[in-house]
Amino acid sequence: MTQNNRTAIVTGGLSGMGRAIADRLVRDGNHVTIGSRRGDDEEAVRAVLGPLEELLNVAPLDVRSGESVETFVAEVAERRGGVDILVNAAGVYEEAPVIGHSDDVWESQIDTNLSGTFRMIRAAMPHMKAGGWGRIVNLASMAAHTGMENNAAYCASKAGLLGLGRCVSLEGAAHGITCVAISPTWVETEMLLQFIEADIEATGKPREQVRTEYAASNPQKQLVQPEEIAEIAAFLVSDAARAITMTDYQVNAGSPW
C-alpha cells in the first residue's frame, strides 16, 4: 500500500483530521502541501512543521475564494510538477434552527464545506487527468446521512459532498482518478473539544462526564480519533485503492450518529 513521492494537497490541515491525514501521508513518503486560512500564521505553521519540514509545506488558502484556490493549486503544481492527491478537510460548523436561520450561517457553511470542496476539485482535477492518476478524498460526516436539530446548513453541506463525489467519480474514472468520502461520527478534534467546553459552561458538569456523554453516543462508547481517520485516508489514496471510487465510508463506531 505504501507509495512514495506523490504530491498531495490537504485543506484545513493545521488541525484535527486534516492535520492527522497530512502527517500520515508524509510518513508514507508523499510531499504534502497544507492549505489553510491560517497558512500565514507563523506560530501555527511552526507547530505543524516540526521535523517534517522536508516533505511538508503550508500555504495560505481560502477555499471560499476561486482566485485563492486557483493560485494555491497552480503554485503546488508548478513546484511539484503536478497534483496527485487531494484531501478536502477544510470545514466550518455553526448551529441554527431552520426557523429564523440566517442567510449568513447558511451561506458560510455551504460556501466552505461544499462549494470550497468543489473549487478545489475543479482546480486539481486537470493536473490529475494530465498525469493519468489521481485520488480525491472528501471529509463528509455522519451528518450527511442523519439529520440533526439546529444543523440544517451543516447537514446539507455534508450531504452535498456525496452527490458531488459521484459526479467526480464518473468523470475521473477513465483517467485513473478516484473520488471517495469519509463520514465520521464524533471525532476527538479541537472542534469537539470546543463543544465539550461549551457544554461544561452551560451545565456545570465535570469535563470527563461531558466527554463520556459524547462517547456514549455510540455502542463502542469511545470517541473516534483523528489518527483512525488518517489510516483510512492513507489506504484510499494508495495504489491498492484503484477500484474504490464513488463510495462513502461511514466511521460510525456502530451507531448512525
Task: Dump pLDDT digits (tens) for 1-58.
Answer: 446 689 999 999 899 999 999 999 999 999 999 999 886 665 666 666 665 567 899 9
- Total Cβ atoms within 10 A of residue 79: 12
Domain boundaries, the chain: 7-185+225-250, 188-223
Residue 154 annotated in active site: yes
pTM: predicted TM-score of the whole model, two decimal places: 0.93
Q: Does domain 7-185+225-250 have CATH number 3.40.50.720?
A: yes
Segment 202-249, tens digit of pLDDT: 999 999 999 999 999 899 999 999 999 999 999 999 999 999 999 999
How many C-beta atoms lie closer than 10 Å to residue 55's C-beta? 16
The pLDDT of residue 145: 95
Whole-angstrom distance, CA of residue 181 vs CA of residue 250: 9
Integer-rounded Cα radius of gyration of the chain: 18
Residue 185 has pLDDT above 70, yes or no: yes
* Strand (E) or helix (H) holding 211: helix 207-215
All cell numbers assigned to 69: 484556490
Distance separating alpha carbons of residues 66 and 122, to the nearest angstrom: 10
Among residues of the chain, what percentage have pLDDT more than 90? 84
Q: Which among 93, 154, 214, 249 is annotated as catalytic?
A: 154
Alpha carbon distance 112, 92 (integer Å): 7
pLDDT given for residue 1 in this prediction? 47
For 24, 51, 103, 178, 203, the CA distances from 231, given in Å and listed in that order, are 7, 21, 37, 17, 35
C-alpha to C-alpha distance for 8 and 19, rounded to whole angstroms:
13
